[in-house]
Amino acid sequence: MIRGLPNPLVHLELRTSNLPRACAFYTRLFDWRAETIHTDSGDYLMLALGDGLEGGVVEHETERPFWLPYVEVGDVTEATERARLLGASVLLPPREGPAGWRSVIAAPDGGAVALWQHKS
């Protein structure tokens, strides 16, 4: 891994329809520490992935589980618009959460990525 690059990957989130099964598998396979956080919209499983990378598992109705990488950007609104101009589809427009702002885009090839801006 090359340190100090702009726009680092800061979070990796698994979207799955079976949170308990995913938790059991990944924590046993990789010895990742897990902590369940209860929210108004359901449970969220925080994962300590190592070397400063955070992660989580979200229970989400989906035919096939998928990993969603979060990339840190300086301005989530500007980065989302830049992605749109480059041909991406905006799957989730910028929105504020407790720790920052995020959006989700799909590149022209269909690969999804979340854009993340920490609150100062």
Question: For residue 67, what pLDDT is reported?
Answer: 92
Instruction: Please give the span between the terminal C-alpha atoms of the chain, in angstroms, as a whole number.
Output: 26
- Look up residue 99 and give its DSSP letter: S
What topology does CATH give the domain 73-120?
A: 2,3-Dihydroxybiphenyl 1,2-Dioxygenase; domain 1 (3.10.180)
Q: How many helices (H) and strands (E) does the chain have?
A: 2, 8
Domain 9-68 shares a fold with domain 73-120:
yes
Superfamily of domain 9-68: 2,3-Dihydroxybiphenyl 1,2-Dioxygenase, domain 1 (3.10.180.10)
72 contacts 8 by C-beta, under 8 angstroms = yes
Question: For residue 5, what pLDDT is reported?
Answer: 60
Please give the model's pTM, rounded to 2 decimal places: 0.84
Distance, CA of 94 to CA of 80 (rounded, Å): 7
**Per-domain residue ranges of the chain:** 9-68, 73-120
pLDDT digits (tens, 9 = 90+) for 4-62: 567 788 889 999 998 889 888 988 998 888 888 887 777 778 888 777 778 888 888 88
